[in-house]
Structure 1
């Protein structure tokens, strides 16, 4: 009896073990539930993701160049060269096609498509690349009759940055290979951008510069510091910081450089890295040709939106771009202009003096010199790892982003005083340091007051 009982219990134990093993096997082999919607979902994000992204941005900004900056050289611009593929394309009357990156925001997508068509695009000019299979998004796309490609979510969970990077690669590959095989470039926007009426005119106006100046990279419709209501709608700038947010991507750049090594995450910071940018700069307008219409995103919260996106001034009327507008951003012309401003400037190293001087009604430029980097002293995880960077000392009085690399050209930010006076915020030492007057000591970090995020209106 006892032997039969022990045998029965042994069989039961073996069956139990087999059942558990089978359950584990099913758990490992069968796909789990789909991952949560990424990136473009309208939900608040944890503060930690913003901290990690901020450190990624700082790492890119301070990463030593693979090649010393002064040794990164490009041939002289070719202003009289024959028209290239992009210029010929627009000269024939065609618009650069647009790739709209979308996920599950139907109303912002509808607004984006409406604005694109108000700017002159036809249904044949637009591809909506959707991450996921949200039927409401597909219905909006059908309303406009534009091309539609949907990317199914992967079986393995990904974080927001990975989702975005893979969606971009999917969208751009489909655009260049399948939907617009004859286009020499595409414009890339996300589904929460509304564009100006001269959005396509702007890109047609600046594209020739990209084909004639190898020190240029891409062109963007976005100015990170485009808050001034009195900006010149025809003024163009160069920056080493890739702005994104409505940008022109040449086919040659995609096929020969970007597509073969597209990253698995944080694609925008990768675009800003030395290995990719290679010392090249981006063109952008002083007055934005796009505005951001969503309060939340993977790396966006309501504070950043209210502070840095909602106040952006977008060009409301169509601007008649001169046929040679692109010449102003060719390297040598641009450098001569910046050096001319600095050579003629009144130079100061005191913020209060700069603020007072910027309000004067004069055409004499004003240059404020400072000498400090981003806040990269504390490692991630430290109590003060993401305190406001010292750049707020000069960015706050002049309505700039707290990140010093955004919109700068070789360490120089250009703003315009309330009475129209040109103001240059110049980081020392930079390429223009020889133009700093002898005896002028740049503003030091120690001279800046301590500022917390709470001081800037953000609750941690």
Structure 2
């Protein structure tokens, strides 16, 4: 009996040892070389995989198109057909984040390098803010500076205004020839951006502008206002009354509506350009845009503290305007995250009612009293004017620009000009019920 048990134990032990040896051999066995694959089969497999990816992308695109059409139907719009000029990817990008190209108007200043350096330095995204330089004048040295940027960055491009012919003018207008060339150049450049390149909006700067660190953030945050409010036609980075003595430096986030086109860094939409282009003036386009008739009575947004600064002393104005005014404009240096701010207070329905109820319930002071006041109170006040002369007298006393364009005072909105003097908000406001601007003023 004991012998049988002993044999059984030996037999079981042998089985265990044999099992361990077999298992070990299977683990350490060198794998056989992989069989040779048929290239034709590999190509076929890749094609099948690619087809599946294409089918998935098509399904995603159709889903996106259906969502877009649903949104347009709810808003009263037409469906987006398969032949629409906006492709699905472009629609999705437009809904999530706009593409805002920067159009640089250049001529014969090699100092365009300073402008381009700042645009490149502060640009947060090459894709969102491609740079397009439009050069007039045929100045080769300036063109070489521009192409030094385009050669190394595909998101920076240059186009040259092809019509360099002299503009024939009567003798009394010859001295204004530069303004005629500028208007011609702007029309070419804007047609290039909107019609040739097909962009929906553009930021326009000239080759003699510095920009603030939050220049691009400013336009990203304010651009949606142009889409929401049909009473707006532009967003500007400039405050005509942006001197240190008449602005609130503690409020770099503060924005205003204005009936006076500021220019000097501004956003224009294609929709508005298509209305302006057929009647574009032959000269002095900026003053033409300051006539309420030409812009259908629409307004712009402008900042309390300018986001641009002009360093171009020499130009068609011969430097006179620069010395008298432009050199004193304050450039904002504090970064404001406009995309995170609630800017609905700038929409017309909110802004108009609030402005009127605020201004005409304030205590009244004269311009002389405001300037001479030793009261450190921060309570806002209003200064009244009754006609062009009383406006100019008060504006000059307060340190504001006192001129008009088509009857519109600089920075005015519904006849009201706001500034910040000696620690208090001041509103220069009409003493009469304002209905529209009087083009005979000025």
Q: Scaled by the length of structure 2, what TM-score is found?
A: 0.69
State which of 270, 274, 278 in structure 2 corresponds to 1:260: 278
SS of aligned partner of 1:219? strand
Asked if the contact 2:259/2:292 (under 8 Å) is kept, the reply is no
State which of 402, 407, 414 in structure 1 corresponds to 2:411: 407
- The answer for the alignment partner of 1:3 in structure 2 is none
SS of aligned partner of 1:277? coil
- The answer for the alignment partner of 2:327 in structure 1 is 310
Asked if the contact 2:248/2:304 (under 8 Å) is kept, the reply is no
Q: 1:192 to 1:413 in 2, by over 3 A?
A: same
SS of aligned partner of 1:299? coil
Instruction: For residue 372 of structure 1, report the CA deviation from its aligned partner.
Output: 2.1
CA distance, structure 2, for counterparts of residue 355 and residue 88 of structure 1: 53
**Deviation digits for residues 322-361 of structure 1, max 9, x if unmatched?**
534431211122123312322441113x33223234x533
CA distance, structure 2, for counterparts of residue 427 and residue 96 of structure 1: 38
CA distance, structure 2, for counterparts of residue 112 and residue 430 of structure 1: 44
**Deviation digits for residues 227-277 of structure 1, max 9, x if unmatched?**
13643111111111111111100111112x012222212211221223322
Structure with max Cα Rg = 2
**Deviation digits for residues 45-64 of structure 1, max 9, x if unmatched?**
xxxxxxxxxxxxxxxxxxxx
**Deviation digits for residues 119-173 of structure 1, max 9, x if unmatched?**
2163971111111211111111112112111114115446122111110011111
- The answer for the alignment partner of 1:351 in structure 2 is 367
Instruction: For residue 205 of structure 1, report the CA deviation from its aligned partner.
Output: 1.1
Map 1:113-192 to 2 at 5 A.
Answer: 113-120=116-123, 122=126, 125-145=130-150, 146-152=156-162, 153-157=164-168, 159-179=177-197, 181=198, 183-192=199-208
CA distance, structure 2, for counterparts of residue 277 and residue 178 of structure 1: 24
State which of 258, 281, 284 in structure 2 corresponds to 1:239: 258
Map 1:202-213 to 2 at 5 A.
Answer: 202-213=218-229
Map 1:271-286 to 2 at 5 A.
Answer: 271-286=289-304
Asked if the contact 2:218/2:337 (under 8 Å) is kept, the reply is no
Asked if the contact 2:210/2:309 (under 8 Å) is kept, the reply is yes
Matched pairs, number: 330
CA distance, structure 2, for counterparts of residue 274 and residue 409 of structure 1: 12
Asked if the contact 1:412/1:425 (under 8 Å) is kept, the reply is yes
Asked if the contact 1:233/1:319 (under 8 Å) is kept, the reply is yes
- The answer for the alignment partner of 2:426 in structure 1 is 423
CA distance, structure 1, for counterparts of residue 295 and residue 210 of structure 2: 27
Asked if the contact 1:411/1:430 (under 8 Å) is kept, the reply is no
Q: 1:167 to 1:424 in 2, by over 3 A?
A: same
CA distance, structure 2, for counterparts of residue 241 and residue 88 of structure 1: 34
Instruction: For residue 306 of structure 1, report the CA deviation from its aligned partner.
Output: 2.4
SS of aligned partner of 1:106? coil
Asked if the contact 1:162/1:266 (under 8 Å) is kept, the reply is yes
State which of 235, 244, 255 in structure 2 corresponds to 1:219: 235
CA distance, structure 1, for counterparts of residue 97 and residue 122 of structure 2: 14
Instruction: For residue 410 of structure 1, report the CA deviation from its aligned partner.
Output: 1.2
Q: Scaled by the length of structure 1, what TM-score is found?
A: 0.66
CA distance, structure 1, for counterparts of residue 252 and residue 433 of structure 2: 28
Asked if the contact 1:391/1:403 (under 8 Å) is kept, the reply is no
CA distance, structure 2, for counterparts of residue 335 and residue 171 of structure 1: 35
State which of 267, 276, 287 in structure 2 corresponds to 1:248: 267
Which of 1 and 2 has higher RCO (CA within 8 Å, sep 6+)?
1
Q: 1:130 to 1:204 in 2, by over 3 A?
A: same
CA distance, structure 2, for counterparts of residue 395 and residue 88 of structure 1: 48
Asked if the contact 1:102/1:130 (under 8 Å) is kept, the reply is yes
CA distance, structure 1, for counterparts of residue 289 and residue 347 of structure 2: 21
- The answer for the alignment partner of 2:101 in structure 1 is 97
**Deviation digits for residues 185-227 of structure 1, max 9, x if unmatched?**
0011111111111111111111121111111111111110011
SS of aligned partner of 1:244? coil
Instruction: For residue 432 of structure 1, report the CA deviation from its aligned partner.
Output: 9.1
Segments of structure 1 that go 5 or more residues without pairing to the other structure are 1-80, 375-389, 434-444, 446-460
Higher helix share goes to which structure? 2
Q: 1:345 to 1:156 in 2, by over 3 A?
A: closer
Instruction: For residue 90 of structure 1, report the CA deviation from its aligned partner.
Output: 7.1
CA distance, structure 1, for counterparts of residue 93 and residue 361 of structure 2: 41
Instruction: For residue 95 of structure 1, report the CA deviation from its aligned partner.
Output: 4.8
- The answer for the alignment partner of 1:370 in structure 2 is 385
Q: 1:275 to 1:230 in 2, by over 3 A?
A: closer
Q: 1:88 to 1:355 in 2, by over 3 A?
A: farther
Q: 1:343 to 1:272 in 2, by over 3 A?
A: closer
Instruction: For residue 430 of structure 1, report the CA deviation from its aligned partner.
Output: 3.9
- The answer for the alignment partner of 1:321 in structure 2 is 338
